[in-house]
Structure 1
Amino acid sequence: MAARRFLITGATKGIGRALSERLSRTGHQVIGLAREHADFPGELVRVNLADREATAAALDDLTRRHAIDGVVNNVGLVRPQYIGNVSLDDLDDVLSLNLHPALQTVQALLPGMRERRWGRVVNVSSLTVLGIVQRTAYAAAKAALVSFARSWALELADSGITVNAVAPGPTETELFRANNAPGSEGERRYLAAVPMGRFAQPDEIAAAISFLLSEDAGFITGQTLYVDGGASIGKAPF
């Protein structure tokens, strides 16, 4: 695979960090967008992705300095709440952080990718789009990222740019553990729904994303790949 340059949002933790390390190991250049400073295997731009003006300014600077071949829209926000407790402010916060940067990054990179007639977009969705308690806002946002991928794939099908989504099952990340502590009811509920009986490791999700960014995935577009230990197909007959 030719060396490429990829942009990753939410790049310093969990899946974003694992993907950044994997891409760097395989010879690609990585640009990360994240709110916090961290050691990073590439160029890290600190930006609050909830701030649309700051995000736009960061993207404008990056596209002036770099030819960027693709983006992984990974940044996310979850606020677990039962339906009766979801406020409109919470809904707006979750939808905006999951969706606004995804649209902004693709719009910023699109002219360059079109000019070069090559590009990759991967939206990180979630198994929760199939339904789960306490995820009204989060599951809606992640379902929208699937819809984005399908619509953009159709619009860009003749441009050399592919657009796909990856929907991880429960994965051992800081975000997941912040809401599902070891031994908690949330952990038990998630494990019971995974036929393989374990959580994913971030690098396993990164491997799937990395494939969709590759030359070999050039005829795959508009698809959602579930990486979930079988959770999307039902429970194993134990």
Structure 2
Amino acid sequence: MQPEHKTPAHKTIVVTGGSTGIGAAICHAFLDAGYEVVNLARRPLALDHTRLHNIELDLSDRAATAAVAQQVAREHEVTSLVHNAGLIRPNLLPEVKLEDYDYLSQVHIGAAITLSQAFLPGMQARQFGRIILITSRAALGLQTRTSYSATKSGMMGMARTWALELGEFGITVNTVAPGPISATEMFHEVIPEDSPKLDSMARSIPVRRLGVPGDVARAVSFFNDPDNGFVTGQTLMVCGGASLGSLSL
């Protein structure tokens, strides 16, 4: 006979980089669902909401990230971490700078480790937790993305490792890998909003459109759901089918 499944109390979700684009859509979705949301970002999410807590933080600062992580763990019952913050630093191989790789490693991987370590004791004590890392379709390879794809693919391997280590505590660890998502600062830093490349890129995607932040937020909500505890160590490509073949910028 299977043991009775009890849905645990799901309190507070920490979102990194929740001020614009995908991160803002994730914060809005969680607030609409009734959660407390702590946004860790370099600038606040422009929203007046009683359950939203903005904390300004540069995740490239290792010491500041550790201090804020401990502060949040003391002040909130964190049951979910969504590590969304990221940046690209694109360059073809001859121009790749190792300092860019170091910077992206800290923001994408180092910060995820520090934050997870701070929230892990509370999750283990409650025998419940959700860790969701936002990686990228570019982890499969994309021109000019040496540092970005290396660190984003590293997040996938890290999530699979954590899933093995934490499953016995009721903690799932998954990744969401967006493809081309329009209406985000990071995307339009590479391809301007008025560029003719937008139409040609959309035509190259099997679903014939670019993604929007809400597409990613819905995938994150699936992994965050307390009833979805039998899915862990997985990567969900939210890319309109772009991961099925090559993608040209």
User: How big is each residue's C-alpha offset from its partner over 1:185-224, in whole Å with a ceiling of 9 and x where there is no partner?
Assistant: 7646643541112111101100000110002211000000
Work out whether 1:207 is the aligned partner of 2:218: yes
Residue 10 of structure 2 contacts residue 226 of structure 2 at CA under 8 Å; is this kept in 1?
no
How many Å apart are 1:131 and its aligned residue?
Answer: 1.1
What is the aligned counterpart of 1:4 among 1, 5, 11? 11
Q: Which amino acid counterpart does residue 75 of structure 1 have in structure 2? A: A
CA distance in 1, matches of 2:108, 2:121: 23
How many Å apart are 1:77 and its aligned residue?
Answer: 1.5
How many Å apart are 1:145 and its aligned residue?
Answer: 0.7
Map of 1:145 onto structure 2: 155
Q: Which amino acid counterpart does residue 63 of structure 1 have in structure 2? A: A
Work out whether 1:231 is the aligned partner of 2:242: yes
Deviates more, 1:116-125 or 1:226-235: 226-235
CA distance in 2, matches of 1:181, 1:7: 30
Map of 1:95 onto structure 2: 105
Query: What is the 5 A alignment of 1:47-66?
Result: 47-66=57-76
CA distance in 2, matches of 1:189, 1:78: 22
CA distance in 2, matches of 1:180, 1:15: 17
Aligned residue pairs, count: 235
Measured on the aligned residues, the alpha-carbon RMSD in Å equals 1.7
CA distance in 1, matches of 2:98, 2:146: 11
CA distance in 2, matches of 1:45, 1:221: 29
Map of 1:70 onto structure 2: 80
Q: Which amino acid counterpart does residue 166 of structure 1 have in structure 2? A: V
What is the aligned counterpart of 2:40 among 30, 33, 46? 33
How many Å apart are 1:38 and its aligned residue?
Answer: 3.5
Deviates more, 1:166-175 or 1:184-193: 184-193
Work out whether 1:120 is the aligned partner of 2:141: no
How many Å apart are 1:234 and its aligned residue?
Answer: 3.0
User: How big is each residue's C-alpha offset from its partner over 1:122-165, in whole Å with a ceiling of 9 and x where there is no partner?
Assistant: 00010001111000000111101101110000011111000000
Q: Which amino acid counterpart does residue 219 of structure 1 have in structure 2? A: F
| CA shift in 2, pair 1:63/1:8, >3 Å | same
Q: Secondary structure at the match of 1:76?
A: coil
Structure 1: tracts of 5 or more residues without a match: none
Work out whether 1:110 is the aligned partner of 2:117: no
Q: Which amino acid counterpart does residue 188 of structure 2 have in structure 1? A: R
Work out whether 1:14 is the aligned partner of 2:21: yes
CA distance in 2, matches of 1:51, 1:111: 23
| CA shift in 2, pair 1:83/1:184, >3 Å | farther
Q: Percent identity?
A: 39
CA distance in 2, matches of 1:57, 1:156: 24
| CA shift in 2, pair 1:186/1:123, >3 Å | farther
Structure 2: tracts of 5 or more residues without a match: 1-6
Alignment TM-score, normalising by the size of structure 2: 0.89
CA distance in 2, matches of 1:191, 1:83: 26
Alignment TM-score, normalising by the size of structure 1: 0.93
CA distance in 1, matches of 2:211, 2:227: 24
Map of 2:4 onto structure 1: none
Work out whether 1:180 is the aligned partner of 2:161: no
Q: Secondary structure at the match of 1:165?
A: strand
